[in-house]
Amino acid sequence: MKRAVFVVLGVLLADQTIKIWIKTHMYIGQSIKVIGNIFQLYFIENNGMAFGMELGGSYGKLMLSVFRIIAVIAIAYYLWTLTRKKEADKLLVVAISLIFAGAIGNIIDSVFYGLIFSQSYINELAVLFPSGGGYAPILKGRVVDMFYFEIINLHRADAPTWLPQFLFGEDGRWIFFRPIFNLADASISVGVGFLILFQKRFFKQVSPKQH
Residue numbers annotated as active site: 145, 185
DSSP per residue, 34-49: EETTTEEEEEEEESSS
Q: Which residues, 6 or more positions from 120, have their beta carbon under 8 angstroms from its beta carbon?
A: 23, 27, 28, 43, 45, 126
Task: Output the CA–CA distances (angstroms, integers) from residue 127 to 78, 122, 124, 180, 209, in the order listed.
Answer: 37, 14, 9, 23, 64
DSSP secondary structure letter of residue 205: P
Write phi, then psi, for 159 (nearest 5 degrees).
Answer: -90, 150
Residues constituting the chain: 211
Distance of CA 123 to the CA centre of its chain: 25
Q: Which amino acid is at 61?
A: K
